[in-house]
Each structure stands twice: as structure tokens, then as C-alpha cells.
Structure 1
Amino acid sequence: MDNKSLSHTRWKCQYHIVFIPKYRKKVLYGKVREDVREIISILCKYKSVEIIAGAVCIDHVHLSVAIPPKLSVSDFMGYLKGKSTLMLYDRHPELQSKWDKAFWARGYYVETIGNITDAAVQKYINEQAEESRREDSSSTAL
């Protein structure tokens, strides 16, 4: 198993996230693309988020990440988009609009990534419940 662990928790929380620049502007190329890649990497390290895979396309970003369970996806995305905007404007002030401070669009797409099916989870839960019933009936027989 390639689960990670915290002090009392084993976890494997992987997500596929897609987000875009405001108005889906085609600005993520050249030096800006390199800087976005570097900034996202730095910010993920600060929050102990592992980047499994990623792609900075000309008008959107794809990330496959493992986010610790103590950090919600929503909190992480707020942090990532907010801080990356500030860092990007420091490096590329020409991208900043005097009327609108946001670089990224408001929303994002997220889906969980798993290697088991719903049926497998249901089967596991049913097996655990059955095992618990057997243990319970054997302990009352004593």
C-alpha cells in the first residue's frame, strides 16, 4: 500500500483538479508557464501536498495531487490560487489589471482519484459487518 500517514491516521486522498485564468485568457506560456509551475510546486511543498502529476496548459492547469486529510480541498485551493496570484504578480506585474486583482477564475473542477470501485467498498463494508456479527455472537455464547 502506498498510503501516507499522520500521527494517528493512514491516508490516501488523491484528487484531480483543474482551474483556469480569469476569462480563460491564454496567458500561460513561456516564462509565465515556467513561473506558474515553480510557484505551484513551492506552495504545495509548504502545505505538504504531493504533486503526482501536473500540466500547465496555455489556458488552464491540471493537477493530480495527494492532499492530507487535515486540509480540505476548498481551503487548499483558496490558498493555492490566492498565494500564486500574489507571487505571479510579483514576477509579472504586466499581468495585473488595475481594475481586477484576481488572476484565476473563481471556481475549479475537482474529482477524487481512487483505485477501487464502489462495489469493492460495499463488499468490504458488508464483510466487516458480517465479521463483527460473528464476533458478537461468539462472545455472547460464552
Structure 2
Amino acid sequence: MANTLTSLHVHLVFSTKNREPWLRPEVEEDVWRYLGGICRTHEIKALQIGGVEDHVHLLLGIPPTLALSDVVRRIKGESSKWLSSEKAGFKGFAWQDGYGAFTVSQSHIPQTIRYMQSQREHHRKSTFVEEYRKFLHAHDIQVDEKYMFG
């Protein structure tokens, strides 16, 4: 085949360090926009970005030229640097060390976007830890809980 053609969509989830509530409603839009800008800079298609005070969700279309680990390193590294040095009140900000990445088929993109848009409502009933456990279970990922949030 002469061309490389892909449809690589990933639902990326990661929290603030120790799940501290840094991402308050008054700053979240700036954070989502900045994360989207990082994606554009690296030719990553951000289909949806959102979250709540202690974690973010990104639905990304990743080009075949980038490894997922590089995508995450760029997004977390560049945003952490910006937040801790440029945003008032964010000195000491950091993301958790790890992340969750779950593949999303083209047919499930609309429902994933709706899920991400309803995070505030969703988290009135469920904590981040409960939500994350459900993702792991749905994707048949086994993990020792003592290492889950390191």
C-alpha cells in the first residue's frame, strides 16, 4: 500500500498530582484551550477536552508518526510548565505520574464526546477513582490498586 491511512482515536485520562482540586471552574476553559493548543502544535487532533477539578479527559486523534507516550509527555509536560509558571496561583502544580489511555472506535466518538461534556453532572454521583476503575474494568485492564494512583 502506497499510503499510510489511520483512524487512531484515544480517550486519555489523567489527574492532578494527588488528585488535588487545581482545575477550578474559573480556570478550566483556559486550561482546556491551552491543552488544545498543545495538540494543534504537535498535529494531534483534539476532538474534545474537559474534566473537573482533579482530572482531565482528552479525546484525541493521534497521527501515526507519534507514539502515545510522546503525545502524553508533550501534553502533560508543556501544560504543567505553563500552569506552574504562567497561571496565577498555580505555583507547584503537577499532573499525576501516569495516565489511562483507551481506544475509541469511530462509531463511539459522539457518545464519548457527550460523556466528556457531562463531567460535572457525572461527578455529582461518582468519584474519579470510581470512574477510573470502571474504565479499567470495561477495557479488561488488570491493575494492582496500590500502584493505580502512585
TM-score, normalized by length of structure 1? Answer: 0.68
1:51 lines up with 2:46 in the alignment = yes
Provide the C-alpha distance between the structure 2 equivalents of 1:22 and 1:67, rounded to a whole number of angstroms: 25
Provide the C-alpha distance between the structure 2 equivalents of 1:30 and 1:13, rounded to a whole number of angstroms: 30
Match of 1:39? 34
How many residues align? The count is 106
SS in 2 for 1:94: coil
Tell me which amino acid in the other structure corresponds to 1:91.
E
Match of 2:18? 23
Contact 1:36-1:56 within 8 A present in 2 as well: no
> 1:65-94 CA distances to partner (integer Å, 9 max, x unpaired)?
100011011011011100101111232253
- Which structure: larger Rg? 1
Match of 2:90? 95
Match of 1:65 among 60, 66, 84: 60
Shift of 1:114: 1.8
Provide the C-alpha distance between the structure 2 equivalents of 1:90 and 1:33, rounded to a whole number of angstroms: 16
Tell me which amino acid in the other structure corresponds to 2:16.
P
1:13 lines up with 2:8 in the alignment = yes
Tell me which amino acid in the other structure corresponds to 2:66.
L
TM-score, normalized by length of structure 2? Answer: 0.65
Unmatched segments (≥5 aa) in structure 1: 1-6, 117-142
RMSD over equivalenced CA pairs, Å: 1.8
Shift of 1:52: 1.4
Q: What is the identity percentage for the equivalent residue pairs of Structure 1 and Structure 2?
A: 29
Higher alpha-carbon deviation: 10-19 or 32-41? 32-41
Contact 1:53-1:65 within 8 A present in 2 as well: yes
Unmatched segments (≥5 aa) in structure 2: 108-150
